[in-house]
Amino acid sequence: MTIPRRWHEKPMRIIDFIPPEPDRFENLNVEQQYRIRLGLGFNAEHVEVNDVSLGESGITFYPSEVALEVRKDVLKEIVETYDAEALRPLVYFNVHWLAPSLSERHPEWLQLGEDGRMLPSAYGAGGYSCVNSSFREYAFGTIRALARYAIGGIFLDGPIFREDGCYCPACRERFQAEYGHEAPAAPRPGSREDIEWAAFRRSSIARFMEDSSLVLKKHRPEAIIYMNNPQLAPNRLCSRDNRMTVPYQDMLLAEGGFLGGDLRTLPVWKPAATALLLEAQAGGKPYCVAIAGRQSPWSRYLLTPAETWLAHAMAVAHGAWTWYGVYNDNNRDTRMQTVGEINAFLKEHEEWYTGTSSAARIGLVWSYATANYYQTTAAETDFTDAKTSVGDRRKNDSRKAFHGWFDLLSRSRIPFDLLDDTSLTDGSLEKYEAVILPGVSCLSAAEAEAVRRYVSEGGKLIATFDTGFYDEYGRPLEMSALSDVFGLEGDAAVRVCQYDHVPVPEGEELFRSVDQTLVPAPGLVVEGQAAADALPIGFYREPQVSRYCELPPATEHPFAIRNGYGKGTCLYVTGNADTMYADYSLPEYRTMLGEAAAAMSAPQVEVEFEAELESVHLSLRRKDESLVLHLINYTGSMTRPLTGILKQRDVAIRIKDIPEGEWAASALRTGEALPVTRRDGGLAVRLPELDEYEVIVFSPVQV
């Protein structure tokens, strides 16, 4: 929860209009541009006063001792024209990509591969800057020059290390000094050399962030600084670690709203997942989801109004500020009216987006260790290539396991938070009635012990497949570190299932909504046995040798195990059921896993529609004594980009576990007061109409 104290701790609506080439940029009417931004409802701007059309070029639009070329002082005009209370200028500074104008003049600034050659930029020109090289002095000189102006702060785009770098002389020398031996070439993942190399690069970025902050605060103490932070992907791909850099940032920002390619393959909840991750890592500081207004790779093709609404709603519903970026040439496009409408709504109801905290009772874990050292696919980003396949068919895809759980919880309308590896040991588990480990294969001994203690003291756990079968560096263990919590015994070998089925046991609560006698088996299964005092749920059959053969006999290997441990309980699903759901969206898996989660932690909110519906995402947050319910409706055509949303009518909403007394409810977007009735210790209201997004505030009536 953020208790507002300074301007950046109140909701920010940041715009980044990418400027035209230098000659046109110098001739823009700053007063006119300022009015356009205000008219669209933004209250902060990433101003780009370094030319970055081919990367950081050394061309500045303000005086700088380290610039190659100083053009017209546009920054001075901006600072003098903008009313900072209405539109605060925050300077964009690219610290990861060097244009040929700088990279050719300063090859010593570049990231190098192990062969000593420049690592080429994914942007098509120039190369990547190294934060251990003398590029540092260029960066700090730029920050000092910017700090002469009354700016609100600086956003650092980057810094990063390429996965295959950096072996420049500065990195080699510093690594030798810190670790006492040469930088390793292509170290084996999980080896001592690899662990040291990863730690070196992460600490190098954290040190650069710390030093950049010190330079800025020395010259302009009130200014804020923050960087482009990683999302839900292996952070070894770029060496950025939010937990290491957050002490030196005033807020966290990540590009969770950058949508591109075939949107039919992209989760609509991507901005929500990013917001939840940043909330877990920010330590009470503000966090911001960056939303690109375009659908990449077409940089000037704007998203549809429906997609724009959904991206913003998914972010702000989970407490995030927003950044919106398009080219300046797009600033009067018709579709910009949608952004103006969104900003106007957020500005009008700013109090309900300020100082809130999550009311979720379930924590879903994202494991960086598993993504880094086990195996995973990964989406393409501006910094990293896509990883579209996994190598070992007997191992899970950790990203898909996480996506499966996120999607099914969202579609089941169960509010939840995200936790990361650090959350397992920092006391965060205590806040939740239930925690889900979606194929969290890699756990340290300390993390496993923290989970064990959480369950022993009364917590509820759901885990899948080979959770805990590897240490934090991907080294296999003889048995899961949590096997006693799971109630799992035996050899626990992994089996690959192709055509296999699981018989549905009669009378078993886990399968109560399944209306078939067989369901497809998950693609991967841990074949073990339930401990004597644990309850096996369903059993796999022997491998089915073809699609058309008779069903083989049953085995003693359970589909799931329910186990009491201390004061708590655990449901261990032995297969990668979450990945199975991510791959095929089988409704039986959604209902089985979703109902299991709801049974372990009854959601405080229930929402019912006139028809069966899965396409509404919920977030429940607290502010003081009030509860704030966000409903995000993405019901539309069965494709994306969505061009319209199917409105839902007469939506029944129930909030449970509400203190006695009179309560009021209001829908912010429609401006309606909703009649409230008391029911079974809770509140019930009906929402006449739900478009893309609605917010309902429940507050006790002050007598």
Average per-residue pLDDT for the chain: 95
Report the distance separating Cα 553 and Cα 540, nearest Å: 9
> Between the CA of residue 26 and those of 15, 48, 73, 419, what are the distances in Å?
19, 12, 8, 46
pLDDT band at 3 (very low <50, low <70, confident <90, very high): low
Looking at residues 192-208, what average pLDDT do you find? 97
Phi then psi for residue 76, to 5 deg, are -60, -45
pLDDT for 4 beyond 60: no
φ, ψ dihedrals at 201, nearest 5°: -70, -40
**Could you tell me the pLDDT band of residue 678, with boundaries at 50, 70 and 90?**
very high
pLDDT at residue 377 greater than cutoff 90: no
**3-class DSSP state of 531:** coil
The CA-CA-CA angle for residues 159, 161, 162, to 5°, reads 130
Q: How far apart, in whole angstroms, are the C-alpha atoms of residue 162 and residue 236?
A: 9
Per the DSSP assignment, residues forming a β-bridge with 90 are: 46, 153
What is the secondary structure of 304-327 as a DSSP string? PHHHHHHHHHHHHTTT-EEEEEEE
- Give tens-digit pLDDT for 139-180: 999 999 999 999 999 999 999 999 999 999 999 999 999 999
- Which residue in 124, 153, 159 sits closest to 138, CA to CA? 159
User: Can you tell me the mean pLDDT for 88-113?
Assistant: 97
Angle at 137 between CA 131 and CA 139, to 5 degrees: 70
- The pLDDT value given to residue 18: 95
Bridge partners, residue 45, by sequence: 15, 89
Give the Cα separation of 172 and 184 in Å (integer): 9
Task: Report the predicted TM-score, pTM, of the whole model to 2 decimal places.
Answer: 0.96
Q: Per residue in 405-431, pLDDT tens?
A: 999 999 999 999 999 999 999 999 999
Task: Inform me whether the pLDDT recorded for 2 exceeds 60.
Answer: no
Report the pLDDT averaged over residues 498-508: 93
Q: What is the pLDDT of residue 257?
A: 96
- If residue 81 lies in a helix (H) or strand (E), which one and from where to where? helix 74-81
Distance of alpha carbon 438 from alpha carbon 450, whole angstroms? 17
- Residue partners of 590: CB distance under 8 A and separation at least 6: 408, 411, 412, 581, 614
Q: How confident is the model at residue 702 (pLDDT cuts 50, 70, 90)?
A: confident
- Torsion, Cα 494 500 505 511, to 10 degrees, reads 80
- Confidence tier at 579 by pLDDT (50, 70, 90): very high
3-class state of residue 470 by DSSP: strand
pLDDT, residue 378, reads 79
Interatomic CA distance for residues 647 and 641, integer angstroms? 17
630 forms beta bridges with 619, 695
Using a pLDDT cut of 70, give the percent of the chain over it. 99
